[in-house]
């Protein structure tokens, strides 16, 4: 058992609790996490509102990049693997709630908004199918990426975000694939900071890299990507050519940002005995 | 002169159209179902009216009216339909309209004093007011109601039942419509608005259907032995909570059934349904809370409004998979939680591979904690076979 007081876990579902008259306004704002050793404050009610998910796919192929090798000996490129994993992500997310919407951004020289928000996963899947990898560029400018995103979305304006359930939330999931190139904010962080401070904007990262070594910058890149998590609510995941782990991470990414535990607190193991 | 005439007629027409628009938008009060009234312009240019002459004699007048001068209003009343025909004098707009009713006896039974008293719109016909026709219809309906109540004096039994309903249900006169020996038939009927309150229902269960929460019981009496046929009408707000009116089995009416007892039974039946719906909701909420309590660190998403679904990700022996737990409308009494395991790795062929597992041991008597523990047991006992089939299918 992870907690003693089950009903306290649903406090913060302001819309329902408040109007049934069963709780005072202060209870509705009671939003600190009950489980895990770290207390991080939530600033939005834990409602499963529709998500507008921006999938950012890095198609850069670096020199010396390695493939995924499966148990039966078959080999697949990194891009192929991430396409498969994202396909299952789309299908599962759609099965969880068909209101969720997806947009597709391709990351190469500069980011391109390939497909606008749709709740039909097949539209994104067919775009994904067409994607091909390309020779890696020497830079990755995160300012361009977040400028593009900021132009394409309009964040919900809630007068009292701690209590009012938002109509939707935006989540960007960056699938970054380079082991030699450090992503940087070449044009400044102002737009990024503006997005990140909104309680309705979330950023997750899935970093797919070569085995860390002295020949590459994987560790430095991973640290930098972890640094993008300023709120404590992001999921920053990494995998190195392990197909199962890649798919497992995409499973973790299915979790709704308003309802999921912090990354430190996830625990999926199902035991037989308490 | 002609231009001025047509200008005046033009503005009169505009006003008339505005007045009709007003009723169509706002309706008119006075009846339990007057918001369901059907309003049309009669299309025949030749109409036969049952009119009341000045000397009090009933007669028939044939008049030619252009389409558009005439309004036909069909109002449901106590289970039947009252049709009101209004003929407007658009060339003399200060004149109130001529009226005719499907209930022929109505006009003949009411006195001029009654009309003057109860339907003041006729004497003060202010053709420039947008809601004047609505006011007229409201007053006519009220008068019709009063007329029916007076007819009750001739039917002691029905009158007694009417009064007991008012008293026992603690409702007002505005909550019952009575039709005593409707014209052309030898049946009486009544329509009662049941005092079913949805006050304590969590708003999330009914907010998708705004509007009134109305429950109407219509009772039609046949013959003189007190035999009656009931019919139930529920507004969408109520139906979304307890189901459609035609899915609710009304109790049978054996001969000799007392109307008051029957109405009370129907009310109790509805109140019980409301209680059950709220209880189901509360149980779902407790179940989801238990799931979060036992598996909160594995949660993907849950329905935070109606508590009908929770999705989790689990790992057993390095095998990760999704678990969908759904609580249907018949949970907890008649239905166990539905458990579906779904693959993170394999499509079969277009959708992720998934399989439903039933809970053979389920009991509605369990506490939510026991229910959740049992769900966990079902998952654990089926994971390996699920894993095997998901691989095979690919």
Pair of tokens at residue B53 = 């002459």
Q: Do B347 and A87 touch (CB under 8 A)?
A: yes
As a whole number of angstroms, the distance between CA A100 and CA B44 comes to 55
SS3 of A118, please? strand
pLDDT of residue A58: 96
Kindly list the residues from chain B whose CB atom is less than 8 angstroms away from the CB atom of residue A265: 297
State which residue of chain A sits closest to B341, comparing Cα positions: A92
The beta-carbon neighbor of B313 closest among A36, A97, A252 is A252
Band (pLDDT 50/70/90 cuts) for residue B49 is very low
When mean pLDDT is compared across A33-47, A126-140, B283-297, B363-377, the lowest value belongs to A33-47
Q: Given CB atoms, is A251 within the 8 Å cutoff of chain B?
A: yes
Number of folded domains that form chain A: 1
A92, A122, A239, A265, best to mutate vs chain B, most B CBs in 10 Å: A92
pLDDT of residue A15: 36
Q: Do A256 and B301 touch (CB under 8 A)?
A: yes
As a whole number of angstroms, the distance between CA B168 and CA B166 comes to 6
Percent of chain B with pLDDT over 90: 42
Is-contact B326 B337, C-beta < 8 A? yes
Percent of chain B with pLDDT over 70: 88
- Would you say residue A76 has pLDDT above 60? yes
As a whole number of angstroms, the distance between CA B394 and CA B374 comes to 30
Tens of pLDDT, residues A79-116:
999 999 999 999 999 999 999 999 999 999 899 999 99
Q: Given CB atoms, is A2 within the 8 Å cutoff of chain B?
A: yes
* Residue A22 domain flag: no
Name the more confident of B54 and B304: B304
Q: How many CB atoms lie within 10 A of CB B184?
A: 10
Residues 154-183 of A with CB under 8 A from B: none
pLDDT of residue B224: 67
Band (pLDDT 50/70/90 cuts) for residue A258 is very high
Q: Note the ipTM here.
A: 0.87
Q: The whole model's pTM is what? A: 0.79
What is the per-residue DSSP string for B307-346? --EEEEEEEETTEEEEEEEE--TTTTTT-PPEEEEEEEEE
* Residue A23 domain flag: no
As a whole number of angstroms, the distance between CA B157 and CA A182 comes to 92
Q: What is the mean pLDDT of chain B?
A: 85
* Residue A115 domain flag: yes
First to last CA, chain A: 7
C-alpha distances out from residue A199 to A36, A49, B376, Å = 22, 13, 34
Q: CATH number for the domain including A147?
A: 3.40.50.410
pLDDT of residue A248: 97
pLDDT of residue A18: 34
Q: Given CB atoms, is A50 within the 8 Å cutoff of chain B?
A: no
Tens of pLDDT, residues B132-178:
888 999 999 999 998 999 888 888 888 998 999 999 999 998 899 99
Percent of chain A with pLDDT over 70: 84
The beta-carbon neighbor of A268 closest among B320, B343, B345 is B320
As a whole number of angstroms, the distance between CA A16 and CA A113 comes to 37
- Would you say residue A5 has pLDDT above 80? no
Q: What is the mean pLDDT of chain A?
A: 86
Residues 6-25 of A with CB under 8 A from B: 6-7, 9-10, 13, 15-16, 19-20
Place of tokens 């009927």: B189
Is-contact A15 B305, C-beta < 8 A? yes
* Residue A225 domain flag: no
* Residue A65 domain flag: yes
Q: Give residue B358's Cα distance to chain centre.
A: 37
* Residue A269 domain flag: no
- The range of the structural domain enclosing residue A174 comes to 9-14+47-156+163-213+247-257
Pair of tokens at residue B31 = 């009846």
First to last CA, chain B: 89
Query: Per-residue pLDDT averaged across A55-71, rounded?
Result: 93
pLDDT of residue B68: 58
Q: Given CB atoms, is B231 within the 8 Å cutoff of chain A?
A: no
Band (pLDDT 50/70/90 cuts) for residue B57 is low
Please state the φ and ψ torsions of residue A268, each to the nearest 5 degrees.
Answer: -100, -10
Side-by-side strand order, sheet with B70-77? B38-41, B70-77, B80-87, B98-101
* Residue A176 domain flag: yes
pLDDT of residue A191: 96
Kindly list the residues from chain A whose CB atom is less than 8 angstroms away from the CB atom of residue B303: 48
Tens of pLDDT, residues B230-282:
999 999 999 989 988 888 889 988 888 889 999 999 999 999 999 999 999 99
* Residue A167 domain flag: yes
């Amino acid at each position: 058992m992870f907690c003693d007081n089950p009903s306290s876990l649903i406090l913060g579902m302001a819309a329902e609790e408040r109007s049934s008259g069963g709780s005072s306004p202060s209870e509705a704002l009671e939003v600190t996490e009950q489980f895990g050793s770290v207390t991080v404050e939530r600033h939005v009610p834990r409602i499963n509102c529709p998500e507008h998910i921006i999938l950012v796919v890095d198609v850069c192929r670096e020199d010396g990049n390695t493939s995924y090798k499966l148990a039966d000996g078959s080999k697949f490129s990194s891009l192929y693997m991430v396409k498969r994993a994202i396909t299952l992500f789309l299908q599962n997310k759609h099965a969880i709630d068909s209101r969720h919407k997806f947009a597709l951004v391709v990351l190469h020289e500069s980011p391109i908004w390939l497909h606008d928000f749709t709740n039909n996963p097949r539209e994104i899947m067919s775009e994904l199918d067409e994607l091909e990898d390309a020779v890696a560029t020497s830079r990755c400018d995160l300012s361009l990426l977040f400028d593009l995103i900021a132009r394409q979305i309009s964040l919900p304006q809630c007068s009292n975000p701690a209590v009012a359930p938002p109509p939707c939330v935006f989540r960007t999931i960056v699938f970054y694939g380079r082991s030699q190139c450090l992503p940087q904010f070449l044009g400044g962080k102002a737009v990024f900071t503006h997005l990140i401070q909104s309680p309705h904007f979330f950023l997750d990262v899935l970093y797919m890299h070569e085995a860390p070594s002295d020949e590459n910058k994987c560790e430095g890149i991973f640290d930098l990507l972890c640094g993008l998590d300023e709120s404590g609510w992001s999921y920053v995941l990494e995998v190195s050519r392990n197909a199962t782990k890649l798919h497992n991470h995409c499973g973790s990414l299915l979790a709704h940002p308003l309802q999921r535990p912090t990354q430190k607190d996830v625990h999926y193991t199902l035991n037989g005995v308490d | 002169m002609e231009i001025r005439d047509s200008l005046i007629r033009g503005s009169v027409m505009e006003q008339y159209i505005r007045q009709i628009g007003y009723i169509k938008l706002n309706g008119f009060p006075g009846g339990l179902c007057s918001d369901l009234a059907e309003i049309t312009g009669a299309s025949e240019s030749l109409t036969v009216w049952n009119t009341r002459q000045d000397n009090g004699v009933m007669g028939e007048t044939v008049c030619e009216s252009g389409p558009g001068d005439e309004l036909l209003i069909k109002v449901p009343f106590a289970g039947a339909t009252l049709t009101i025909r209004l003929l407007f004098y658009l060339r003399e707009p200060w004149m109130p309209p001529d009226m005719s009713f499907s209930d022929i006896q109505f006009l003949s039974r009411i006195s001029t004093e009654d009309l003057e008293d109860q339907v003041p719109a006729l004497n003060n016909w202010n053709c420039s007011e947008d809601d004047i026709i609505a006011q007229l219809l409201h007053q006519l309906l009220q008068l019709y109601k009063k007329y029916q109540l007076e007819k009750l004096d001739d039917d002691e039994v029905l009158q007694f039942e009417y009064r007991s309903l008012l008293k026992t249900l603690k409702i007002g006169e505005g909550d019952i419509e009575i039709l005593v020996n409707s014209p052309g038939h030898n049946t009486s009927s009544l329509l009662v608005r049941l005092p079913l309150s949805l006050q304590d229902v969590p708003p999330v269960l009914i907010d998708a259907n705004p509007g009134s929460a109305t429950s109407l019981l219509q009772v039609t009496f046949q013959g003189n032995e007190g035999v009656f046929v009931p019919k139930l009408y529920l507004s969408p707000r109520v139906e979304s909570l307890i189901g459609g009116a035609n899915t609710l089995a009304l109790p049978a009416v054996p001969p000799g059934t007392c109307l008051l007892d029957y109405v009370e039974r129907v009310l109790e039946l509805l109140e019980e349904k409301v209680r059950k719906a709220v209880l189901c909701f509360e149980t779902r909420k407790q179940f989801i809370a238990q799931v979060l309590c036992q598996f909160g660190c594995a949660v993907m998403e849950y329905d935070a409004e109606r508590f009908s679904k929770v999705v989790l990700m689990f790992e057993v022996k390095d095998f990760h998979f999704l678990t969908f737990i759904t609580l249907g409308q018949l949970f907890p009494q008649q239905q166990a939680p539905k458990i579906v395991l779904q693959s993170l790795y394999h499509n079969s062929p277009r959708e992720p591979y998934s399989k439903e597992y039933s809970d053979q041991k389920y009991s509605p008597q369990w506490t939510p904690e026991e229910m959740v523990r049992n769900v966990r047991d079902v998952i654990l006992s089926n994971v390996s076979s699920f894993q095997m089939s998901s691989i095979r299918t690919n």
